[in-house]
C-alpha cells in the first residue's frame, strides 16, 4: 500500500461505466474537483500524497451510503452529493478537525447516465468549495446492486488535541449546535408525503434532511474548550448516550431547552407525539458536546465566531443512562430510539 500518507487515487481500473470510458469519465467529471492541487497528482497515479502540517495529526473518517437504506432511491444527485460529503465532514467537525481533502468510491447501477454524473459532480463541487477542500482520488465501478457511495474525508488537528467522546466529566454542561429534529421530520415529509408545518415549513424540513450542514467552523473552535463531542447522526438521545457510555457517566436533557426551528415547533404543536421523533430521529449532523460550567463564556465566543448557534440542553451526571426531563423535572419515557446500523 506504500507510505501511510498515500491514499487511494485511481478512479477505476475495474468495470468501465456504460457510454463513457474510464479516463473520459475522470477527465470530464472528477478531475475538475481536484482544483488543480498537486497532492492529487491529476488523478493519473495509483495514490495521492498528503503531508500533515507540522505539529498536526491526520484525522480520517469514512461513511458509506446505500440507496434505499441511507437515502431515498430517487434522491436528486446534487442533494445526494451534498449529503455524502456532508456526513463525513460532520465527523471531522466532531473531532475538532479542519477538513483538508476527500476521496470518493462510487458504485453505480448500469447504465450510468452522463447527466446524472454531471449533476452529482456539480453538487460535490459546491460542497467542497464551501468547506475549502478538494478531491484527492477514489474509484468508480458499475454494479448490479443499488447505488452505493463511500467517501473518506481527511483533516488536521493539533497533535493530542482531537475531541473524543470519552472525556466528559460529572457536572459538565451539555450543549447542542443549531436545531434538532428537522431532518427526521424532513424524512417524514419526503418519504411518507406527510404535511407537518405547511408548505414553507415542510420545504425547510425537507431541505434539512437533503442537505446536512456540517459544523466545520464550530468544531475546531471547540478544541481545548469541549471535554467531549459527537455529531448527531443517529439521534440526539442515542448520540448523547454514546458520550455518556464512553465517559462512564449519564446525562440529563431538559426537553424544554431543546433548540427547535420554527417549522419543528409548528409540527410539534400540531402533533405532540412528534416529540419522540425530534429526540430520537437522526440525520441532523449537529454537534453535541460537553464543557465545564466555567467554560460557558468560551463556548459562547466559539459559537459567535463560527456563526453557529449553540444551546445548553442539559448536564452530565454520575447516574448512568440518558434521562429526558419535561417541565418541572418530570422524567419522560419515550421508549427506545436512535438509528441502529445493524
Same domain, 41 and 145: yes
User: Within 13 Å, how many C-alpha atoms sit on residue 175's CB side?
Assistant: 31
User: 179 and 127 in one domain?
Assistant: no
Instruction: Report the DSSP beta bridge partners of residue 139.
Output: 105
Residues 107 and 39 in one domain: yes
Domain range for 234? 173-332
One domain, residues 322 and 208: yes
In a domain, 166, yes or no: no
Domain count, the chain: 2
pLDDT at residue 46 in the model: 85
Dist CA 313 CA 169 (whole Å): 16
User: Reduced to 3 states, what is the DSSP secondary structure of residue 167?
Assistant: coil
Is 245 found in the same domain as 116? no
Q: Do 180 and 300 belong to one domain?
A: yes
Give the Cα separation of 104 and 108 in Å (integer): 12
Strands 148-158 and 98-109: antiparallel
339: in domain = no
For residue 250, give the CATH number of its domain: 3.90.650.10
Residue whose entry in the numeric block shows the C-alpha cell 463556548: 299
CATH number of the domain bearing residue 61:
3.30.1330.10
193 and 143 fall within a common domain:
no
| Dihedral angle sign, alpha carbons of residues 126, 129, 131, 133 | positive
pLDDT in tens, the chain (342 residues): 223 333 333 333 343 444 556 677 778 889 999 999 999 999 888 889 999 899 999 999 999 999 888 888 888 999 999 999 999 999 999 999 999 999 999 998 888 788 899 999 999 999 999 999 999 999 888 888 899 999 999 999 999 999 999 999 999 999 999 999 999 999 999 999 999 999 999 999 999 999 999 999 999 999 999 999 999 999 999 999 999 999 999 999 999 999 999 999 999 999 999 999 999 999 999 999 999 999 999 999 999 999 999 999 999 999 999 999 987 788 888 766 654 443
Q: Which three cell numbers stand for residue 57?
A: 495529526
Q: How would you class 265 by CB atoms within 10 Å of its CB: exposed for 0-12, middle for 13-18, buried for 19 or more?
A: middle
For the chain, the residue count is 342
Let me know the angle formed at the C-alpha of 86 by 82 and 87, rounded to the nearest 5 degrees: 125
Task: Clarify whether residues 270 and 245 are in a common domain.
Answer: yes
- Does the reported pTM lie above 0.75? yes
Same domain (yes/no): 149, 289: no
State whether 86 and 143 are in the same domain: yes
Within-domain flag for 338? no
Task: Kindly state whether residue 1 falls inside one of the protein's structural domains.
Answer: no
Amino acid at each position: 500500500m506504500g507510505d501511510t500518507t498515500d491514499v487511494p487515487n485511481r478512479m477505476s481500473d475495474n468495470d468501465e461505466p456504460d457510454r463513457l470510458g474510464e479516463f473520459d469519465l475522470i477527465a470530464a467529471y472528477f478531475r475538475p474537483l481536484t482544483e488543480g492541487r498537486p497532492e492529487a497528482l491529476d488523478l493519473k497515479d495509483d495514490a495521492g500524497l498528503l503531508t500533515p502540517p507540522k505539529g498536526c495529526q491526520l484525522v480520517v473518517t469514512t461513511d458509506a451510503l446505500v440507496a434505499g437504506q441511507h437515502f431515498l432511491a430517487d434522491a436528486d444527485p446534487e442533494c445526494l452529493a451534498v449529503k455524502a460529503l456532508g456526513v463525513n465532514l460532520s465527523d471531522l467537525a466532531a473531532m475538532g478537525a479542519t477538513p483538508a481533502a476527500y476521496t470518493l468510491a462510487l458504485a453505480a447501477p448500469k447504465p450510468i447516465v452522463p447527466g446524472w454524473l454531471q449533476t452529482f459532480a456539480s453538487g460535490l463541487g459546491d460542497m467542497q468549495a464551501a468547506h475549502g477542500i478538494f478531491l484527492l482520488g477514489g474509484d468508480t465501478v458499475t454494479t448490479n446492486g443499488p447505488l452505493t457511495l463511500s467517501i473518506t474525508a481527511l483533516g488536521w488537528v493539533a497533535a493530542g488535541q482531537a475531541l473524543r467522546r470519552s472525556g466528559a466529566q460529572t457536572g459538565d454542561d451539555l450543549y447542542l449546535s443549531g436545531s434538532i429534529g428537522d431532518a427526521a421530520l424532513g424524512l417524514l415529509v419526503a418519504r411518507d408525503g406527510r404535511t407537518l408545518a405547511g408548505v414553507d415549513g415542510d420545504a425547510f424540513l425537507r431541505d434539512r434532511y437533503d442537505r446536512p450542514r456540517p459544523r466545520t467552523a464550530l468544531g475546531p473552535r471547540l478544541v481545548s474548550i469541549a471535554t467531549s463531542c459527537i455529531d448527531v447522526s443517529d439521534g440526539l438521545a442515542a448520540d448523547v448516550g454514546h458520550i455518556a457510555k464512553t465517559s462512564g457517566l449519564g446525562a440529563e436533557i431538559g426537553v424544554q431547552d431543546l433548540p427547535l426551528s420554527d417549522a419543528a415547533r409548528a409540527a410539534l404543536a400540531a402533533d405532540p407525539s412528534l416529540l419522540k421523533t425530534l429526540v430520537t430521529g437522526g440525520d441532523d449532523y449537529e454537534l453535541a458536546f460537553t464543557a465545564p460550567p466555567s467554560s460557558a463564556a468560551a463556548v459562547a465566543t466559539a459559537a459567535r465566531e463560527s456563526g453557529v448557534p449553540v444551546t445548553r440542553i442539559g448536564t452530565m451526571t454520575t447516574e448512568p443512562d440518558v434521562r429526558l426531563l419535561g417541565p418541572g423535572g418530570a422524567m419522560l419515557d419515550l421508549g427506545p430510539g436512535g438509528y441502529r446500523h445493524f
